[in-house]
Amino acid sequence: MALEIETLAFGDHYVVVPRGELDLSTQGRLRAALTNLLVDGHVHLVVDLNEVSFMDSTGLGTLIAARRQAHTLQGSFVLVCANEPLNRLFDATHLTKVFSFHETREAATGHDPRRD
C-alpha cells in the first residue's frame, strides 16, 4: 500500500500526517518529509499517526531518528496517536518512555481552533 503524507502548519508547529502503511518500502518518504522540515528550520514537529494502518520497526526507527534530530536542533517532537494497535506497539517496545503522546493535534500544538 502507498503512503500519503500531508503537512499542516499550526503556528510554529508543523503537523505531518502519514496515511497508509509505514514500513520498509515507505518509511523513506516520511523520513524525507521530516528531514526537509527540520532542514528548513521547522523544528517543532508533530506526527499524527491516527491514519497509519500498519507500522513496522523501520517506521519506528524513522520516528526515533526524527525525534533525535528535532531535539538536537532545540526543537520538539511529539506524536498524536489514538490508534490502539499502534499504541500497543509503542507500549510493547517501551517507546512510550521515549515519545510524548497526545490524542489530538490541538493538544499537541496548543492550537485552539475556536480562536480562528
How many domains is the chain built from? 1
Angstrom distances, CA of residue 58 to CA of 36, 99, 110: 19, 16, 29
Residue 39, C-alpha cell as written in the block:
532542514
Give me the amino acid identity at 71: H
13 belongs to a structural domain: yes
116 belongs to a structural domain: no
- Local confidence pLDDT in tens for the 116 residues of the chain: 689 999 999 889 999 999 999 999 999 999 999 999 999 999 999 999 999 999 999 999 999 999 999 999 999 999 999 999 999 999 999 999 999 999 999 999 986 554 54
pTM: 0.92
Give the ranges where the chain is alpha helix by DSSP (H).
27-39, 57-72, 84-92, 105-109
The CATH number assigned to the domain holding 30 equals 3.30.750.24
Could you list the residue range(s) of the whole structural domain that residue 89 is in?
3-110
**18, 51 contact by CB (below 8 A):** yes
115 belongs to a structural domain: no
